[in-house]
């Protein structure tokens, strides 16, 4: 079935306002790519979402990044141009395939877009993917804006086929999401070969075959080094202020150019291998050199190894975005200048702008959506005592926050399983009676959790697993997965039966429970029963994310002020539709002072999930009365 959302691509020569992700998608399509695969993850998600809207190519959400890279590799070996995208931590998952294909080489151009989350906008770490270029002996391209992302994605396919190697397109959050005008071209049909060529000595990487590829890779390294030295993607921009010469790449280049508009700059677009001759040339134009790179001192270390005096992380931070404010503050002392904390860039003038004190905005921590099926799970977990809870990557990671505080660990995707087993097997005398619970979502379970559950079953771990099936990849925007019943284009697809899958992984049938998380008594009873019973068990909660079209909105609730006692039980559910209107002090019969929290419900946000109703002892929460519509009133007035 064709994707009903397919767009008609704007014609060549169009100037479009595009984010970096959108620009990459357009370039991949124009380059004649036939296959594209990815696993959603901010800040890379929109690359494939946009690419899936273009005609004449195959695009898929893969179950994880390793599989997406393997799909792209297979397409390349068949002679087609191929593309895969992932966020920085996804390349850790895909690295096994990457480190082998770099030895064999490719056939059709293979481009790997990796989006680094500089600044921790939505990730558990801030690793620098440029290291993978060095580790895997691959070229690395670093665009600074959308137009460059478009141009470099096109160039990456050409480089890939020229050197028979995958090319890493290193994006960062700012480049991925900031929009600028981008001029686009036409799609070019491109295919290197019409079929897969059998060559076991090249493609079957047993040790006897693999060792013969290493010398070829080293020869390729030398050719790549020559290519970077003459590449138009690397350039020196002359400047009139030669106190400092800057070496930079990616979004950091934009910040340097804004902050020091008159300084000479070596802008690296083809950043690996490092064009050391250009560095020496810049050194002859400036009194001293500064490397401005996000995030690790990678270029700085390589330049110092060449005997060139250079500054970098001795003046600038090794984490976060290197914004103009950070650059001015970090380099003011080096330049012998004083910089106020709120100083505006020298080349930016503000007119008719009153200086105002910062607004005192009420803090709004991340929380779950009203009626989220995960809320009841963490509310129930928060009522349990003597339990250690290992968590995972997804919306449910918010269970670590208030009011639930019902998550003790979160390491990486799928890690909840192995961590839970380790907490079980490594427990000390003080933890002998502790119950171990692992919490994981449906897409995360399919991504990397299945192996962990298999390990729990195989090694007879005393762990209860909460598998939260909300039929989507919720944290990254509601993408499809093998558990949703639809593919990337929204077409019907086989849906995983999690109960059968869990049983196949070794969990006894009588220890598998599928239940409605909105039924608090059933959830609480099942969870308490399974955590008390030795051995592995799985509780599957089966209700869709409230932001998907699978979810059915019910009649909203409101609070009867005359019945509300201020007990605050409903507040502990954590629903953002419940608002505390006033707090009062009270004295219990025992003489203990308590704080009462009186509430109301935002009926526009409430979806009628019923969780809060089940916690309300005085029965003060009731359905909003049906108010007659204007049409109904008219009918009644007419006597009909």
Is 240 a residue whose pLDDT tops 60? yes
For residue 245, the cross-strand partners are 289
Contact between 488 and 48 under an 8 Å Cβ cutoff? The reply is yes
What is the distance between the alpha carbons of residues 17 and 7, in angstroms, rounded to a whole number? 16
Q: Which of 180-194, 316-330, 337-351 has the lowest mean pLDDT?
A: 337-351
From residue 582, alpha-carbon distances to 129, 192, 568 in Å are: 50, 70, 11
pLDDT for the residue numbered 363: 63
pTM, rounded to two decimals: 0.85
Contact between 596 and 581 under an 8 Å Cβ cutoff? The reply is no
Residue 229 CB neighbours (<10 A): 15
> Is the bond leading into 273 cis (omega within 30 degrees of zero)?
yes
Q: Which of 102-106, 352-356, 410-414, 582-586 has the lowest mean pLDDT?
A: 352-356
What is the distance between the alpha carbons of residues 581 and 331, in angstroms, rounded to a whole number? 49
pLDDT in tens, 542-574: 999 999 988 988 999 999 999 999 999 999 999
- For the chain, give the mean pLDDT: 90
Position 141 confidence tier, pLDDT thresholds 50, 70, 90:
very high
pLDDT for the residue numbered 612: 95
Mean pLDDT on 403-415: 91
pLDDT in tens, 217-232: 999 999 999 999 999 9
pLDDT for the residue numbered 4: 52
Q: 613: which 2 tokens?
A: 């109703």
Contact between 391 and 409 under an 8 Å Cβ cutoff? The reply is yes
What does residue 233 show for φ and ψ, rounded to 5 degrees? -75, -15
Is 630 a residue whose pLDDT tops 50? no
Position 123 confidence tier, pLDDT thresholds 50, 70, 90:
confident
Is 605 a residue whose pLDDT tops 70? yes
Is 202 a residue whose pLDDT tops 60? yes
What is the distance between the alpha carbons of residues 285 and 638, in angstroms, rounded to a whole number? 89
pLDDT for the residue numbered 360: 66
pLDDT in tens, 262-315: 999 999 999 999 999 999 999 999 999 999 999 899 999 999 999 999 999 998
What does residue 119 show for φ and ψ, rounded to 5 degrees? 100, 0
Q: Which domains does the chain have, with CATH numbers?
A: 15-230 (3.40.50.970), 234-344 (3.40.50.920), 373-541 (3.40.50.970), 557-623 (3.30.70)
pLDDT in tens, 40-49: 999 999 999 9
pLDDT in tens, 512-544: 999 999 999 999 999 999 999 999 999 999 999
Q: Which of 318-327, 330-339, 387-396 has the lowest mean pLDDT?
A: 330-339
Position 3 confidence tier, pLDDT thresholds 50, 70, 90:
low
pLDDT for the residue numbered 357: 59
Q: Between 119 and 152, where is the model more confident?
A: 152
Instruction: Give the distance from CA 103 to its chain's centroid.
Output: 29
Contact between 49 and 38 under an 8 Å Cβ cutoff? The reply is no
pLDDT in tens, 58-109: 999 999 999 999 999 999 999 999 999 999 999 999 999 999 999 999 999 9
pLDDT in tens, 448-496: 999 999 999 999 999 999 999 999 998 888 899 999 999 999 999 999 9
Is 637 a residue whose pLDDT tops 90? no
pLDDT for the residue numbered 48: 96
Strands (E), 434-506: 435-441, 464-469
Is 344 a residue whose pLDDT tops 80? no
Mean pLDDT on 497-507: 97
pLDDT for the residue numbered 634: 43
pLDDT for the residue numbered 340: 47
Which phi-psi region, left, alpha or beta, contains residue 456 (left: φ > 0; alpha: ψ -120 to 50)?
A: alpha
Contact between 63 and 446 under an 8 Å Cβ cutoff? The reply is yes
């Amino acid at each position: 079935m064709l994707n009903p959302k397919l767009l008609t691509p704007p014609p060549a020569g169009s100037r479009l306002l595009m984010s970096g992700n959108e620009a990459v998608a357009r370039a991949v399509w124009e380059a004649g790519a036939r296959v594209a695969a990815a696993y959603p993850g901010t800040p890379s998600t929109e690359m494939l979402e946009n690419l899936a809207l273009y005609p004449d190519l195959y695009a898929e959400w893969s179950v994880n990044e390793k599989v997406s890279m393997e799909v792209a590799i297979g397409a390349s070996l068949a002679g087609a141009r191929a593309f895969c995208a992932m966020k920085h931590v996804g390349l850790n998952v895909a690295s096994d395939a990457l480190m082998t294909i770099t030895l064999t080489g490719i056939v059709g151009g293979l481009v790997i877009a990796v989006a680094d989350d500089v600044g921790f906008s939505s990730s558990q770490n801030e690793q620098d993917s440029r290291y993978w270029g060095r580790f895997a002996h691959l070229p690395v391209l670093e665009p600074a804006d959308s137009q460059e992302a478009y141009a470099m994605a096109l160039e990456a396919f050409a480089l890939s086929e020229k050197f028979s190697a995958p090319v890493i397109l290193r994006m960062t959050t700012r480049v991925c999401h900031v929009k600028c005008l981008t001029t686009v071209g036409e799609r070019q049909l491109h295919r290197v070969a019409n079929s897969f060529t059998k060559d076991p000595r090249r493609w079957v990487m047993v040790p006897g075959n693999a060792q013969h590829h290493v010398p070829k890779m080293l020869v390729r390294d030398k050719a790549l080094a020559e290519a970077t030295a003459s590449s138009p993607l690397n350039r020196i921009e002359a400047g009139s202020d030669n106190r400092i010469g800057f070496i930079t790449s990616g979004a950091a280049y934009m910040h340097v150019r804004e902050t020091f508009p008159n300084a000479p700059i070596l802008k690296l677009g083809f950043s690996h291998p490092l064009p050391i001759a250009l560095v020496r040339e810049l050194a002859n134009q400036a009194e001293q050199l500064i490397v401005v790179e996000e995030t690790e001192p990678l270029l700085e270390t390589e330049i110092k190894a060449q005997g060139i005096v250079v500054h970098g992380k001795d003046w600038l931070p090794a984490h976060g975005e290197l914004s103009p404010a950070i650059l001015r503050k970090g380099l003011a002392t080096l330049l012998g200048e004083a910089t106020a904390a709120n100083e505006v860039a020298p080349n930016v003038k503000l007119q008719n702008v009153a200086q105002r004190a910062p607004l005192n905005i009420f803090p709004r921590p991340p929380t779950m959506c009203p009626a989220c099926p995960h809320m009841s799970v963490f509310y129930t977990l928060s009522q349990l005592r003597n339990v250690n809870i290992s968590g995972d990557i997804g919306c449910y990671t918010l269970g670590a926050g208030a009011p639930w505080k019902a998550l003790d660990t979160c390491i990486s995707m799928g890690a909840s399983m192995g961590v839970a087993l380790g907490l079980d097997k490594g427990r000390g005398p003080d933890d002998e009676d502790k119950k171990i619970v692992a919490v994981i979502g449906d897409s995360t379970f399919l991504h990397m959790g299945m192996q962990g559950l298999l390990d729990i079953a195989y090694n007879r771990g005393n762990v209860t697993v909460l598998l939260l099936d909300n039929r989507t990849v919720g944290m990254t925007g509601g993408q499809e997965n093998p558990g949703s019943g639809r593919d990337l284009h929204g077409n019907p697809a086989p849906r995983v039966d999690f109960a059968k899958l869990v049983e196949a992984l070794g969990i006894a049938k009588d220890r598998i429970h599928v239940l409605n998380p909105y039924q608090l008594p059933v959830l609480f009873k099942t969870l308490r029963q399974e955590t008390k019973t030795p051995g592995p068990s799985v509780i599957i909660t089966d209700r869709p994310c409230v932001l998907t079209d699978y979810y059915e909105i019910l009649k909203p609730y409101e609070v009867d002020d005359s019945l509300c006692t201020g007990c605050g039980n409903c507040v502990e559910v954590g629903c953002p539709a419940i608002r505390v209107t006033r707090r009062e002090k009270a004295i219990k019969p025992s003489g203990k002072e308590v704080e009462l929290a009186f509430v109301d419900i935002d009926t526009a946000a409430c979806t009628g999930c019923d969780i809060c109703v089940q916690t309300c002892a005085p029965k003060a929460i009731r359905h909003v009365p049906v108010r007659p519509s204007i049409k109904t009133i008219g009918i009644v007035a007419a006597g009909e």
